[in-house]
Chains A and B, each alone.
Chain A
Amino acid sequence: MDGQPQLHLHVLGELTATRDGAVVDLGGRRQRAVLAGLIIARDEVVPADRLVDCVWGEEPPTNANGALQAYVSHLRKRLEPDATARHRGGVIARAGPGYVLRVAPDAVDAWAFEAAVESAAGLAPADAVCTLEPALRMWRGPAYADYANESWAEAEIGRLTELRAVARERLLATRLELGEAQLVIGELEALVNEDPLREERWRLLTLALYRAHRQAAALAALRRARQVLADELGVDPGPALRSLEAEVLAQSPHLDVPTTAKTTNATPLVPRPRTPDGLVDREREMAVLRALVDDLSVGSSGCLLIEGPAGIGKTRLLDELRRLAVGAGVWVRSARSSSLERDFEWGVVRQLLGAGADEAVGRDERFAALRGLCEVTTKLADDAPFVLCVDDIQWCDVASLQFLAYLVRRLEGLPVLVVLAVRSGETHGADDLLAELAGNEAVSVLHPAPLTELGTAALVTDRLGRGADTFVATCHRMTSGNPLLLRQLLRALADQGVPPDAAHVDTVRAVGSRAITSLVTLRLRRMPATVTTVAHAVAVLGPLADLVTVADVAQHSEEDVAAALDVLARSEILLDGQPLDFVNPLVRDAIHADIPAGERALLHERMSRRLKSSSSQPGHAGVPRS
């Protein structure tokens, strides 16, 4: 036997259940109300007459107790289909005058959410973000959505809704601490609009605007807060907002991002790892990554090649690796090659080593440069073990490829883990390096496989809610298990609120049989005009894209651009984090190709004008390409 089946009950949205990932049919609204009543009581016994209240309210039928027993028996049959009738009762147990729910604390999404929010309070900021983001994503709609107007559910719905509001505030506060002021402004504006009487939201918005160097907007936000509080409640802002106002006026250093030695060093090199939501069918790969990180933390070297077609999830595995490394206290230095920067000599090395590479790559002779870079690497490794991560090495510049080959041959004894991801099925300059790595027994190779139908089902549940079998099977077939394609398909369906039932199978076929490129451009066409323009600007700017440059080139306010970037990240078109980049080069190319000719000319014109005016400023992002 394979151990206990995993039962999950979902109440953050409509009440649903899954058993080993498969959806459990819980029956009609009344029958489900019994389960809802039990979940709300947590591990306390619920008397039968209270459950009768939950099901029928003030007008119970004459044989209410009998009907209740029938509901309980049906629920048991669905929740424990393997047990014989006699032995069912493990999940919904009879207890004295009523019933009690017996499930693990992580089996109910609301309980897991609550635990996550509590635990996040004690974590370091990056970890707190990684805890809060997936926890908030558990919400698929209002809590106990099917029972919104029931008096027995009211208190619990109110409690969970408040907890969610607090979690959203904490998440943005934490991201603010991590230096993401510009990126959270849009979301904070949205939070403030939702509930303008929560002063914490105004405080965070003001702080974000201030840190984004927009003092006037920060003060304006405080004035808006004062006005709203006066109009609605007739009160003045509380002490937190008042002291913030004084500090903004005084430009107090307390308002700056708190910096520690570690974060100053790490921030530019370690993008905040994305949260491990929805990673499926990657147990084997994750075990390999874990082993390599464990080895590295005790000082062993390693080299890993991740090879596969576009969209199979190579970048995602690199993200997971970064997350594991950060968790183990190991540094990560990352680079991503881009087809736009292929001719930029030492581009990848500069991304990896930063200014530390300047002296070595300045040497005239190639071999001297390689030796110099190797010394830099060795010196860094003397301080602490670290990971070198390079994505998309099929587009890596030749000089950097030579360095990577040179380094891999000399890894022995160095506490350095080199991880390279390469797109298969394309001819490129990295062939020599790949041939060399393939012949090296110390190099591990991963070929991430297409997702299974079970994995597909898990992602469908994650994005759209429990999916009908035919719906999931069609998603799987349409995408051939390619995670990028599947995510874009599910996002396209989620954007339009398509439910994952049998009636919508042809919708999956209709949307899913589009090429990935047109799927992305179709989604973008259906978004607001500002978002589309911002995506176009990011595509045109490529590696030069940052918030200020995008705002300049797209000619929208930074506030609007920040909000648009948020939408694009949530829509899985852009990566969530810095530097700005698309989730996949395919996505970037598709969007770039879809820009109308006139708009493209305009964007290029504004970009070159901006480059000219900024080329005199040393160290600007635009410099490497000039």
Chain B
Amino acid sequence: MPETEALRGLAGGAVHLPGDALYDEARMPWNLQVDEHPAAVAYPADPQEVALIIKAAAASGLRVAPQGTGHGAPPLAGRLGDAVLLRTSAMTGLRVDASSRTARADAGVLWGDVVARAGRVELAGMHMSSPGVGVVGSSLGGGVSWYARQHGLQCSAITAVELVLADGTFVRATEDQDADLLWAARGGHGGFGVVTSLEFDLLPVPTAYAGMLAWDWRHARRVLTAWGEWTEDAPESVTSVARIFQVPEAEWLPAGLSGRKMVMIDAVALGDAEAGARAIAPLRALRPELDTFAQMPAADIAHLQLDPQEPTAVYANSVLVHGFPADAVDALVAAAGPGSGSNLLFVELRQLGGALARPAPRGGALDHLDGSFLVLGVGLDVGTGWSAVREDAMRVLDSLAPWTSRASYLSMAYEAAARRGWSPASYDRLLRIRRAADPTGLFVGPQRSGD
């Protein structure tokens, strides 16, 4: 039985042990499907407090698992019993520098915060689809944003990382100093320390042409086929997502969508409205029943996808695929469309390629994505139990097996083998860096070890 009392009183008292009044809500991540009972939950507010918690945990024979919002919590399931869950939510410092077009975000900052602050000076961050996702966790894992086809992965925008290592030392890693740690931070998913701050580049994008087109899912085959063809020569300035969406009845959704089954295309086009309208004209020609495209402030784009902000229990899994020809559309619609019996909340295809397909000039553990689409299946428990949801998702993703890449995007593929997240050489280097920074294995790794 590990000794947890040594932690009490650290972080100004924001340490919660089993039995404490706040333990139960503090241990729950955003994804409520993960229901772990760590040895303690701590909320340090700065690197000094992080170091004290790391040292106390090590001295008590406990491990340490850093976590931001817990959107990506699933890989931690079953691995926290002897760990201190170190939540970074109290580290909320954020600076946006308009002249150098950079941001410095502490580990508790969310994308919505960055986007709002940067928007005031006509800059944009390469944010994820939900503004409630943490900056640090999603950046360490790669980060496919709405600007990705033009500007690459968010992790390639990182210029400096500050972290506390397993021995409690504080390191600031840049191109000039501890460059290995910076390389690992660019898509290496962590496991080499507790990251307390990231510095990264912003984009000079005040507005973009963005919105959603929607059809009843009866039109899924027609729309997805046309979209698949359109993506083949769409300009890199446009990034789009197509999805089959079984919209729940929820108050926060637009009235016209609530409770309906739709096929939708969301897209963001860099540049002015005229160029944007020209780029999506072939999609408009498919006569959508809903068309919300408009030139909008970059800050509003973080809200484009209507993701729930409240903690939610979801199952998610994904594969990378090469190409989306007519056969693949047929297979996917048969598995997830009308009459398929699928209960998934949505299946979406994120358009990759462009800068995402080319190695980023700055390098990093993850410097490109090996696939032309990321196919993501997301399900809620509709009363059939989680194993049924998982089977549903697997069946849908397996329908694309002939086109599936050997690589995985681990930020959204929690069950994939860790080595599939990187090239063999990068994976070896990453493991070497992790071992050097954490020789005793104090940190609970971001993925299960093994194959």
Contacts and interface: CB of A to CB of B under 8 A. Distances in A.
B26 A507 contact: no
A517 to B, nearest CB: 8
A513 interface: yes
Contacts of A511: 14, 43, 45, 89-90, 92
Contacts of A507: 89-90, 92, 108
Interface in A486-510: 493, 496-499, 501-504, 506-507, 509-510
Contact of B43 (A502, A513, A526): A513
Interface string B1-41: 00000000001111010000010011000000000000000
Interface stretch (B110-118, B144-152, B315-323): B110-118
Interface in A425-472: 468, 470
A514 interface: yes
A515 B22 CA distance: 13
A468 B43 CA distance: 22
Contacts of B132: 502-503
Given A497-B113, A509-B26, A526 B13 contact: no
Contacts, number: 78
A513 B13 contact: yes
A518 interface: yes
Contacts of A521: 12
Interface string B94-135: 100000000000001010110011000000000000011000
Interface in A26-61: 29
Nearest to A498: B92
B300 A515 contact: no
A519 interface: yes
Contacts of B90: 507, 510-511, 514
A116 interface: no
B409 to A, nearest CB: 23
A510 B94 contact: no
B112 A499 contact: yes
A518 B12 contact: yes
Nearest to A502: B309
A519 B12 contact: yes
Given A497-B113, A498-B92, A499-B112, A514 B12 contact: yes
A333 to B, nearest CB: 39
Contacts of B350: none
B14 A497 contact: no
A504 B93 CA distance: 14
Nearest to A504: B110
Interface residues of A, number: 27
Given A513-B13, A513-B16, A499 B25 contact: no
Nearest to B43: A510
Interface in A511-562: 511, 513-515, 517-519, 521-522, 525-526
A144 to B, nearest CB: 15
Contacts of A514: 11-14, 43, 45, 90
Contacts of B110: 503-504
B69 A518 contact: no
A519 B26 CA distance: 18
A295 B11 CA distance: 50
Given A502-B310, A507-B89, A515-B12, A522 B45 contact: yes
B87 interface: yes
Interface in B65-90: 69, 87, 89-90
Nearest to A517: B12
Nearest to B9: A515
A67 B110 CA distance: 34
A506 B310 contact: no
Task: Determine which residue in B11, B90, B309 has the highest number of CB atoms from chain A within 10 A of its CB, and name it.
Answer: B90
A285 B444 CA distance: 53
Contact of B87 (A468, A493, A502, A510): A510
A470 B90 CA distance: 18
Given A503-B110, A509-B22, A509-B43, A515 B310 contact: no
Contacts of B113: 497-499
Given A507-B89, A526-B93, A518 B310 contact: no
A202 to B, nearest CB: 29
A526 B106 CA distance: 13
Contacts of B108: 507, 510
Contacts of B46: 522, 525
A234 B314 CA distance: 66
B112 A503 contact: yes
Given A29-B300, A507-B92, A499 B116 contact: yes
A526 B49 CA distance: 14
Nearest to A508: B89
Residue in A503, A518, A522 with the greatest tally of chain B CB atoms within 10 Å: A503
A506 B68 CA distance: 9
Contacts of B13: 513-515, 518
A509 B43 CA distance: 9
A499 B132 CA distance: 11
A496 B104 CA distance: 13
A363 to B, nearest CB: 50
Interface centre among A29, A496, A502 (most CB of B within 10 A): A496
A497 B117 contact: yes
A499 B92 CA distance: 11
A313 to B, nearest CB: 23
A436 to B, nearest CB: 38
Contacts of B94: 496-497
Nearest to A525: B46
A522 B116 CA distance: 25
Contacts of B92: 493, 496, 498, 507, 511
Task: Enumerate the 3 nearest inter-chain pairs by beta-carbon distance, A residue then B residue, closest first.
Answer: A518-B12, A503-B132, A510-B89
26 contacts: A468-B309, A493-B92, A496-B94, A497-B94, A497-B117, A498-B92, A499-B116, A502-B132, A502-B309, A503-B69, A503-B309, A504-B110, A506-B87, A506-B89, A510-B14, A510-B43, A510-B45, A510-B89, A513-B14, A513-B43, A514-B13, A514-B90, A517-B12, A518-B13, A522-B45, A522-B46
Given A518-B12, A522-B12, A525-B46, 8 more contacts: A497-B113, A499-B113, A503-B309, A504-B110, A510-B14, A513-B26, A514-B11, A514-B12
